[in-house]
Structure 1
C-alpha cells in the first residue's frame, strides 16, 4: 500500500574523506566547499557593491611583478584612450577657434559694409 522512500543525502552515499596528514586540510572538506560558497554568496548579496569596492582597492597593494603583462596591457590601453581623448579635445578646440575667427570675419565685414552705407 504505502511505500516509504528514503532519500539519502549525497554526502552519506559518498565515502567519508580520509584525512590527509601531509597537509593541514582534510580531503573531506572539499566536498562542502561549493555549499559553503553558495551560502556565503547568498548571505552577502545585499553588500555586493561594498565588497566589490573593498576588493578593488586591494589591487593597488599588490606588487608590480604579479601579472606584469596584464598590468602593462592595461596601462597601454589607458594611455591609448587618454591620448585619443586629448586628440579629440585638440581637434574640437581647433574647430571652435576656426568657427570663432570665421564669425569675427563675417561680423567685421558686415560692420564695414554698414559703416560704408551710412556715409
Structure 2
C-alpha cells in the first residue's frame, strides 16, 4: 500500500507550448526526487475538455516537477491535486530546500484521520 499526497495549487498559467504550468504548495524535489508521480484526482472534480498540465513544485529548482504531460480538466489556483504513490519512503528520504517544511502525515485508523507523530 502507498499513500497519497494532497497538494494545493498556488499558481497556474498557460505556457506557449500549449501546456498549463501548475505550481503546487509542496516540492517534488524535497519529497519524491527519485521518480515521477502521477496525479490521480483533482478537487473540485471538473468535467469538460482535457488540458495538458505540468505539475511543478514550489522551489524554483528547474527539475522540481511532480509530473509532466498530465491530462486533466483545467486546474485553477486554490484547487487541490492528489498525487499517487507518495507513501512508504517519502518522508524518510525527504530533504530540505529553502526551509520548506516536510508535510504532515496522516493515517486512517478506525475510520478516523490520525496525525502520525
Give the TM-score normalised by the residue count of structure 2.
0.19
* Larger gyration radius, structure 1 or structure 2: 1
Higher relative contact order (CA 8 A, sep 6+): 2
Between structures 1 and 2, the one with greater helix share: 1
